[in-house]
Amino acid sequence: MAVHDFEKAFQEKIDADVRIEPKDWMPEKYRQTLIRQISQHAHSEIVGMLPEGAWISRAPSLKRKQILIAKVQDEAGHGLYLYSAAETLGISRDEMIEQLHSGKAKYSSIFNYPTLSWADMGVIGWLVDGAAIMNQVPLCRTSYGPYSRAMIRVCKEESFHQRQGFESLLVLSNGTEEQRAMLQDSINRWWWPSLMMFGPHDSESTNSEASMKWKIKRFSNDELRQRFVDMCAEQVKLLNMTLPDPDLKWNEARRSYDFGKIDWTEFWEVVAGNGPCNKERLEARRNAWDEGAWVREAAVAHAQKRAARKQASVAA
Ligand code: FAQ
């Protein structure tokens, strides 16, 4: 078959909602797009452990500490399933990590903001996990089989994260004046960066056209962002708090909320490495990699010994 015929058969499969599996023929650009998106997603989960990890030792009760530890562990797990899914496309874990450490691969802008108060733990659950779910539920039906299957479990865990976050905010919202002020301050700081998680406006989204054609993405950045605004504008009322946007207003004709302008200069600065915590985050990941060298060496030596023992017993 000529390449053109392979491409036609591939697109027909996608159009018929048949999943693409690792051994199937796929256009090189499809493979590269998936490696980019899945590895960046994996890096986001791993870097995303850092802002919350900083509060494990400062959680206000044993119950909250246990929940936070479990959540951070889940995020490590998500990173690992996603690295495994990306490996099925022919890139090694080491290569992906190298791309993160050298700055070649991105991770979500949101994790370059600092966690300044305990309320940030609940607000991350509500807004950051909430945005992640809005973006990731459609990925359970993404066209690449290993990615879509990984996302099913990730989404189940993320929705638990979101609910625990909101529950902890309900407690704060019924607390003292000081706790309520801490909560409002946290919402004010995380709202706009959460909207940026969905990526640039559709008109600036360089990857969307191909990703939509290949059903890697099923909804555009702006569509998902709008759904998120509509959801949060209602949920914030349950907290008796406000979203920091004077232009947020229900639009009866569109049956959606209008909202203010996102500061795209800030977004691109953060993506370019100049956000409040970019350097700190990458440094933490690089240090963890260096400090873990002996564990990786020991694991490889152990695997080699086991393989040698197995071979020797087969030969005997
Ligand atoms: N940050 O053409 P598009 C989580 C880049 S996981 C940084 O629209 P695309 C769990 C983009 O890479 C959060 N860079 O790109 C958790 C591209 O540059 P490139 C992560 C961004 O891929 C919760 C350029 O801008 N989720 O939160 C961002 O079609 C709590 C042009 O953009 C995922 O990764 C950004 N926000 O759409 C963990 C989900 N947005 O790569 C801990 C999977 C865009 O060409 C605690 N990914 N860029 O050099 C996706 O759905 C997509 O990749 C989008 C971006 C929607 C993020």
In short, whether 208's Cβ falls inside 6 Å of ligand 1 is yes
Looking up tokens 């991770």 gives 107
Smallest Cα–Cα separation from 91: which of 143, 131, 145, 31?
A: 31
pLDDT of residue 2: 80
Q: Separation of 198 CA from ligand 1 center, angstroms?
A: 7
Distance 257 CA to ligand 1 centre (A): 23
- Ligand 1 center to residue 197 CA distance, Å? 7
pLDDT value at position 175? 97
- Tens-place pLDDT, residues 123-148: 999 999 999 999 999 999 999 999 99
Beta strands in the chain (DSSP E): 249-251, 256-258
Burial classification of residue 13, based on how many CB atoms lie within 10 Å of its CB (0-12 exposed, 13-18 middle, 19 or more buried): middle
Which atom of ligand 1 lies closest to the CA of 207?
A: 2
Ligand 1 atom 21 nearest Cα: 199
At 48-72, the pLDDT tens digits run 999 999 999 999 999 999 999 999 9
Could you tell me if the CB of 157 is within 6 A of ligand 1?
Answer: no
CA-CA distance, 71 to 316, in Å (whole number)? 48
pLDDT, tens digit, 9 for 90 and up, residues 159-174: 999 999 999 999 999 9
Phi-psi category of 306—alpha, beta or left, where left has phi over 0 and alpha has psi -120 to 50?
alpha
What pTM was estimated for this model as a whole?
0.96
